[in-house]
Structures are given as structure tokens and as C-alpha cells.
Structure 1
Amino acid sequence: MERQVKGEFEVKRSPQGACDLGDGAAAGHIRFDKHFNGPLDATSVVHMLAVGTEVEGSAAYVAIERIAGSLDGRSGAFFMQHNGTLDRGTPSLSLTVVPDSGTGELRGLSGRMAIDIVDGRHFYTFSYELGSD
């Protein structure tokens, strides 16, 4: 049965060295440290690679995030995969739980997360299922 939880998170951004993509191209590399509040009571570390194009408003990023803490009172950790694009100003974002990455009481976790930024505050909506392995 799918469940949905919502809450807020704080994020700290730390630029890292650029990632060489060859022929003079580079991806920006940024580390984010997050603290989730609410039914997802956890911390995470995210490493993101991002590129822009010559076309205004077009860019993309990929990231891997490790979230550790508790979800609805169950403790463990899991990985999330981020895939974001900006297509001439139109954004799309997909955040999904990496299959079979749940540990502890989060073993068998699957799901997806949406992020909303309102007036500088970050909010999450996490739709998930907790199956058995």
C-alpha cells in the first residue's frame, strides 16, 4: 500500500571542484547536506553534477543522495537518484528510491519524492511503499 508523507527540510550547499568532461567541458559539482523534518526525520548527503548549455534556460543535473534516519518511525538508510532538466525554462525533476537500497527497517523501500521551494523554504512530498524482500 502506497503511503505519502510531507514535511520540510533545510539544505546547506557546498561547491566542489568542477568535473572534467573532456574537450574543455566541465560539470559543476556541488555537495548538499540536508536535514529533513516531519515523518521523514533524517539527514542526507547529496552529490550533484550539473551542466548548462548555450541556450538560455536549458540545463540538466544528476545526483545521488544517501538519506539516513527514520521514516514513519522506522529506522534505516536508502539512496535516492535525482534527474533534473530545464528545457528552455521549463523544469522537470524525478527523484526515485534506488531499488534494493533500503537498510534496517527500511529494507524493501520504493518510492518517489517531489520537492517544492516556496519563499525560500524547501518542502518534500514522499510517496513510498515498504515491501518485503
Structure 2
Amino acid sequence: MTAKGTFDTANWTPQPPFDDRDGVTLGLVTLDKTWHGDLTGTSVVTMLIATTPVEESRSYVAIERVEGTLDGRRGSFVVQHDATADEGERSLRIRVVADSATGELRGLRGEIGIVVAPDGGHSYTFDYTL
């Protein structure tokens, strides 16, 4: 099955870097999301970020708990993010953590793809099984 829609981000909260040397910075950021479309609800993202002296080379990993309704089924689930940018060449994988879903979403598996529009808006495609 496939769910589609958009999401908004808010409350981007960076913590002071926990490691900063030789132009490479390691930090922690939290943010909130509101999901719209086939997936409606909210989530909190906790991410570890690595930035480098090259503006277009960076990385992040994150854990995100989503609470809401997916195609009429209510519950929560956790996703894991793995993202890199190598001089602008980007890679992003967001997967449901196995057996993390609750409520009517128990058994959920899948991957979420994200597209960032030129105006900064975000849309998603969530390919999943229940």
C-alpha cells in the first residue's frame, strides 16, 4: 500500500555541539512534525548531525516516533532515518523500526520517501504493509 501527503516541521531545537574540531561538528537536534494526507498526526524527531567544512557534505541519523492515523488505522510507530550528502549527492532512507507499531498499526513495515520542494515544503510517499 502507498500513503501520500505533506508534513510541516516546527520547533527545530539544536543543542550545543558535543564535538567540534578540525571543521567537523557533531550535534543533536530535536524537531516536531505535523503530518497531513493519508497519514495524519504528529511526531517528534531526535537527530544526530555531522557537518563538515564542505557545505554540501553532511550526514544525519535520527529516530522519530509518529502518532496518528494511517489510512484510517490509529496507532503509533517509530522510524529510523539515515541520510548523507556527499558534495551535494544526497541519499536518504527512512524505515519503520520492526515491531515498533502500536494499536491498529501493529505489524506495520515500510519505507518513507521525502521530497523537498524548491519553496521548502515537504511531501512524502510511504510504501508500507500491514
Alignment of 1:11-22 (within 5 A): 11-12=9-10, 13-20=12-19
TM-superposition CA deviations, 1:25-75 (whole Å, max 9, x none): 641211110000111011000001111234452211000000001100101
Q: Provide closer, same or farther for how the CA distance between residues 43 and 53 of structure 1 changes in structure 2, counting only shifts above 3 A.
A: same
Indicate the residue corresponding to 1:120 in structure 2: 120
**TM-score (ref. length: structure 1):** 0.88
Indicate the residue corresponding to 2:4 in structure 1: 6
Aligned residues: 128
* 1:90 paired to 2:89: yes
Give secondary structure in 2 for the equivalent of 1:105: helix
Indicate the residue corresponding to 2:29 in structure 1: 30
Question: In the aligned structure 1, how far is the partner of 2:28 from the partner of 2:13?
Answer: 9
TM-superposition CA deviations, 1:54-111 (whole Å, max 9, x none): 4452211000000001100101100000000011210100000001100011100000
Alignment of 1:51-66 (within 5 A): 51-66=50-65
Structure 2: segments with no counterpart, 5+ residues: none
Give secondary structure in 1 for the equivalent of 2:111: strand
Q: Identity percentage over the alignment?
A: 50
Question: In the aligned structure 2, how far is the partner of 1:54 from the partner of 1:93?
Answer: 21
Q: CA RMSD in A?
A: 2.0
Q: Provide closer, same or farther for how the CA distance between residues 22 and 120 of structure 1 changes in structure 2, counting only shifts above 3 A.
A: closer
Deviation at 1:15, TM superposition (A): 1.6
One-letter identity of the residue aligned with 2:124: Y
One-letter identity of the residue aligned with 2:6: E
